[in-house]
Structure formats: C-alpha cells, structure tokens
Amino acid sequence: MKSSKVIKKRTLMLAGYTVFSTIAVLMLLFIFILQQNNIKLQMEVDASLEKSQQLIEVAKSEQNALERDLAEVEYLSKLGSNISVCAPNSTFKSFMDYREITDETSNQFALLQKGFSISTHGILVQDGRFLVAMSKEYGPIGTDLTIVLENVTLRIRIADIKHQGCTSDDGSMLEFLVDANKVYPNILDDGNFNLLYEGPIKEIRYGD
C-alpha cells in the first residue's frame, strides 16, 4: 500500500515536471517568435527610414537644381548692369580654404565639382574667374561679376554666400576661396588679400 502511494506520488511529480517543462518550452518558443518578429519589424522600420532619407535627398537635389535654373534666368536678364557697393570703404579681402565646403548636397559643393585650377597666389579659378564668397544680395551661387578696384579689375564667380550680411565680422566684403597650402606666407599671416589687390571696391557689375 505504501509502495503504491509512493509510485502515485512520483507519477504526479513526474507529470508536474512534464507540464512545467512543456510550459517552459512554450514560453521559450514564444519569446523566440517574439524576438524574430521584433527583428523583422526593426528591419522594416530601418528600410523605411532609409527610403525616406533617400527621397529627402532626391527632393533636396531637385530643389537645388531648380534654384540654379531660376538664378541663371535672373542673372542673364541683368548682364552688364551695375550693382551698388554695400561697403565702399572696405579694403579687407579675406579668404577661406575651399575644403571647408563639405555639404555634398549644396550648390557650393556642386559648383566646385565642375572643376577649378589654382592661381599662383592660391586662389581657386574657374573659367578664368576667381571663386569668392559674397553677400547674397550680389546673387546666388554661380553668379559671374566684375569687381573694379583702384588699380585692378577682377573677374569673379560667387561660389559661397556670406551669411553675416554685406561684410563678415572682419569687415571683408570679398572673401576668396583658396588652397591654404598655396597662399603666399605674408598673405596667410595677414589674412588679407588687400596686400595683393589693394583698395576698396569701386564698382560691381554683372558679367563681363
């Protein structure tokens, strides 16, 4: 009788272990399935985000292209006309290294990708024009201007925009894009191309 009770007890314990093991296996299986679904969901979210980013980049590129086309139409209508000099007493002519332009979606970057040479003074040249940064009032990226100084006339192309306004904090109205490794040491130390192209800007006109 006692043996029968022991057997029954052990049978019940074994059944309990079996049920517990089954539940544990089912729980592990559930967790595994849940993890797989989470991984799949995360992959779908990542793919969706990547696709959205691609669409944003395409839209931004198309917008930049449209802005360039509109700017060209406006520029052609102004060829030969003069523009007022916003800082007629400014003689400081600063510079920046062209490698500071890093946004690959920008009009500035696109302009540089068209190619350029470097003058003996380290200034970037494109189609025979110095590449410079000026205030947005003088036109968008790619605008060709002629700058008349006291003793020299410069043919320039706007390759970057001065966001401070007419002049930068240093008072420069004209900022050359350069390869800093090739700028003359005395100009590099002074930070001012007025050592080479002296005097204030007397006249600015489109084209030429």
pLDDT of residue 48: 72
Flag the least confident range among 4-8, 18-22, 129-133.
Answer: 4-8
The mean pLDDT of 17-35, rounded to a whole number, is 73
The mean pLDDT of 139-156, rounded to a whole number, is 93
Q: Could you tell me the pTM of the whole model?
A: 0.63
pLDDT of residue 171: 86
pLDDT of residue 173: 92
Answer whether residue 102 shows pLDDT above 90: yes
Answer whether residue 117 shows pLDDT above 90: yes
More confident: 83 or 119: 119
Q: What is the 3-state secondary structure (H, E, C) of the chain?
A: CHHHHHHHHHHHHHHHHHHHHHHHHHHHHHHHHHHHHHHHHHHHHHHHHHHHHHHHHHHHHHHHHHHHHHHHHHHHHHCCCEECCCCCCCCCEEEEEHHHCCCCCCHHHHHHCCCCEECCCCEEEECCEEEEEEEHHHCCCCCEEEEECCCCEEEEEEEEEECCCCCCCCCCCEEEEECHHHCCHHHHHHCCHHHCCCCCCCEEEECC
Answer whether residue 130 shows pLDDT above 70: yes
Answer whether residue 6 shows pLDDT above 60: no
Provide the pLDDT confidence category of residue 98 given band limits of 50, 70 and 90: very high
Most confident of 87-91, 94-98, 166-170: 94-98
